[in-house]
Amino acid sequence: MLTGHCQCGQLRWEADALPTHETACHCSVCRRCSGAPLVAWFTVPRASFRFTQGTTSRFRSSEHGTRSFCPTCGTQLTFESSRLPEEIDVSTCSLDDPERVPPRDHTFAATRLSWVQLADGLPAYAGARADG
Protein backbone atom coordinates (compact mmCIF):
# COMPACT_ATOMS: atom_id res chain seq x y z
CA MET A 1 0.00 0.00 0.00
CA LEU A 2 1.33 3.42 -0.97
CA THR A 3 0.26 6.28 1.31
CA GLY A 4 0.85 10.00 1.28
CA HIS A 5 -0.24 13.40 2.47
CA CYS A 6 0.05 17.11 1.76
CA GLN A 7 2.30 19.48 3.68
CA CYS A 8 -0.39 20.60 6.17
CA GLY A 9 -1.77 17.09 6.68
CA GLN A 10 -5.37 17.94 5.79
CA LEU A 11 -5.29 15.64 2.74
CA ARG A 12 -4.31 12.00 2.87
CA TRP A 13 -4.34 9.46 0.06
CA GLU A 14 -3.63 5.78 -0.49
CA ALA A 15 -3.09 3.55 -3.50
CA ASP A 16 -3.23 -0.21 -3.41
CA ALA A 17 -1.02 -0.81 -6.43
CA LEU A 18 2.54 -1.04 -7.65
CA PRO A 19 3.80 2.26 -9.07
CA THR A 20 4.72 2.51 -12.77
CA HIS A 21 6.13 5.26 -15.02
CA GLU A 22 8.21 6.73 -12.22
CA THR A 23 9.66 9.89 -13.71
CA ALA A 24 11.07 13.33 -13.05
CA CYS A 25 9.13 15.70 -15.31
CA HIS A 26 10.73 18.86 -16.63
CA CYS A 27 7.70 20.22 -18.50
CA SER A 28 6.81 23.87 -18.09
CA VAL A 29 3.32 23.09 -16.72
CA CYS A 30 4.62 20.93 -13.85
CA ARG A 31 7.17 23.60 -13.14
CA ARG A 32 4.67 26.44 -13.04
CA CYS A 33 2.09 24.47 -11.03
CA SER A 34 4.62 23.62 -8.34
CA GLY A 35 7.01 26.55 -8.41
CA ALA A 36 9.83 23.99 -8.60
CA PRO A 37 12.39 23.23 -11.34
CA LEU A 38 11.07 19.68 -11.88
CA VAL A 39 8.42 17.40 -10.40
CA ALA A 40 8.66 13.66 -9.74
CA TRP A 41 5.56 11.56 -10.49
CA PHE A 42 4.48 7.95 -10.64
CA THR A 43 1.40 6.31 -12.10
CA VAL A 44 -1.13 3.93 -10.54
CA PRO A 45 -4.48 2.59 -11.81
CA ARG A 46 -7.17 5.16 -11.08
CA ALA A 47 -9.29 2.47 -9.43
CA SER A 48 -6.53 1.79 -6.90
CA PHE A 49 -6.25 5.40 -5.74
CA ARG A 50 -8.38 7.25 -3.22
CA PHE A 51 -8.26 10.17 -0.85
CA THR A 52 -8.75 8.94 2.70
CA GLN A 53 -9.01 12.39 4.26
CA GLY A 54 -9.84 15.88 3.02
CA THR A 55 -11.13 17.36 -0.24
CA THR A 56 -8.84 18.60 -2.99
CA SER A 57 -9.15 21.61 -5.24
CA ARG A 58 -8.91 20.75 -8.93
CA PHE A 59 -8.14 22.72 -12.04
CA ARG A 60 -7.58 22.16 -15.75
CA SER A 61 -3.88 22.63 -16.42
CA SER A 62 -4.03 21.83 -20.15
CA GLU A 63 -6.48 20.67 -22.80
CA HIS A 64 -6.42 17.09 -21.46
CA GLY A 65 -4.97 17.50 -17.98
CA THR A 66 -6.55 18.07 -14.58
CA ARG A 67 -4.48 18.57 -11.46
CA SER A 68 -5.44 18.45 -7.81
CA PHE A 69 -3.86 20.20 -4.88
CA CYS A 70 -4.54 20.92 -1.23
CA PRO A 71 -6.71 24.06 -0.95
CA THR A 72 -5.00 25.01 2.32
CA CYS A 73 -1.27 24.43 1.78
CA GLY A 74 -1.10 24.13 -2.02
CA THR A 75 0.73 20.80 -2.26
CA GLN A 76 0.24 19.41 -5.78
CA LEU A 77 -1.07 15.87 -5.47
CA THR A 78 -2.38 14.34 -8.70
CA PHE A 79 -2.47 14.68 -12.47
CA GLU A 80 -5.17 13.05 -14.60
CA SER A 81 -5.40 13.02 -18.40
CA SER A 82 -8.69 12.59 -20.23
CA ARG A 83 -6.66 10.59 -22.78
CA LEU A 84 -5.65 8.03 -20.12
CA PRO A 85 -8.84 7.53 -18.08
CA GLU A 86 -7.58 4.34 -16.39
CA GLU A 87 -4.52 6.03 -14.87
CA ILE A 88 -3.67 8.70 -12.34
CA ASP A 89 -0.30 10.29 -11.71
CA VAL A 90 0.63 11.04 -8.12
CA SER A 91 3.36 13.46 -7.02
CA THR A 92 6.21 11.35 -5.66
CA CYS A 93 7.11 13.79 -2.92
CA SER A 94 3.59 13.65 -1.47
CA LEU A 95 4.37 10.04 -0.48
CA ASP A 96 4.86 9.45 3.23
CA ASP A 97 8.22 8.01 2.14
CA PRO A 98 9.37 9.33 -1.27
CA GLU A 99 12.43 7.05 -1.09
CA ARG A 100 10.11 4.15 -1.90
CA VAL A 101 9.45 5.31 -5.47
CA PRO A 102 12.55 6.87 -7.04
CA PRO A 103 12.30 8.20 -10.62
CA ARG A 104 13.57 5.83 -13.32
CA ASP A 105 13.92 8.46 -16.04
CA HIS A 106 13.48 12.12 -16.96
CA THR A 107 10.67 13.29 -19.23
CA PHE A 108 10.30 16.56 -21.14
CA ALA A 109 14.06 16.96 -20.79
CA ALA A 110 13.96 19.21 -23.89
CA THR A 111 12.54 21.94 -21.64
CA ARG A 112 14.86 21.25 -18.71
CA LEU A 113 16.15 24.45 -17.13
CA SER A 114 19.80 25.11 -18.02
CA TRP A 115 20.78 25.30 -14.36
CA VAL A 116 19.39 21.85 -13.60
CA GLN A 117 22.30 19.52 -14.35
CA LEU A 118 21.47 15.82 -14.47
CA ALA A 119 24.14 13.45 -13.24
CA ASP A 120 22.06 10.47 -12.11
CA GLY A 121 22.66 8.41 -15.27
CA LEU A 122 18.93 7.88 -15.86
CA PRO A 123 17.46 7.95 -19.39
CA ALA A 124 16.22 11.39 -20.43
CA TYR A 125 13.43 11.69 -22.99
CA ALA A 126 12.90 14.93 -24.93
CA GLY A 127 9.15 14.71 -24.39
CA ALA A 128 6.87 12.05 -22.99
CA ARG A 129 8.29 8.54 -22.71
CA ALA A 130 8.04 6.70 -26.04
CA ASP A 131 5.85 3.97 -24.55
CA GLY A 132 3.46 6.60 -23.21
Out of 72, 122, 124, 129, point to the residue binding Zn ion (CB under 5 A): 72
If one asks whether residue 73 binds Zn ion (CB under 5 A), the answer comes out as yes
- Give, as ranges, the residues between 2 and 31 that touch Zn ion (CB under 5 A): 6, 8, 10, 25, 27, 30
3-state helix, strand, coil in the chain (%, to 5): 15, 40, 45
Residue 131: how many other CB atoms lie within 10 Å: 6
CB of 33 to Zn ion, least distance (A): 8
Backbone phi and psi for residue 100, each to the nearest 5 degrees, phi listed first = -70, -25
CA distance 30 to 10: 22
Say whether residue 40 binds Zn ion (CB under 5 A).
Answer: no
Closest separation in Å from C-beta 16 to Zn ion? 22
Residues that bind Zn ion (CB under 5 A): 6, 8, 10, 25, 27, 30, 70, 72-73
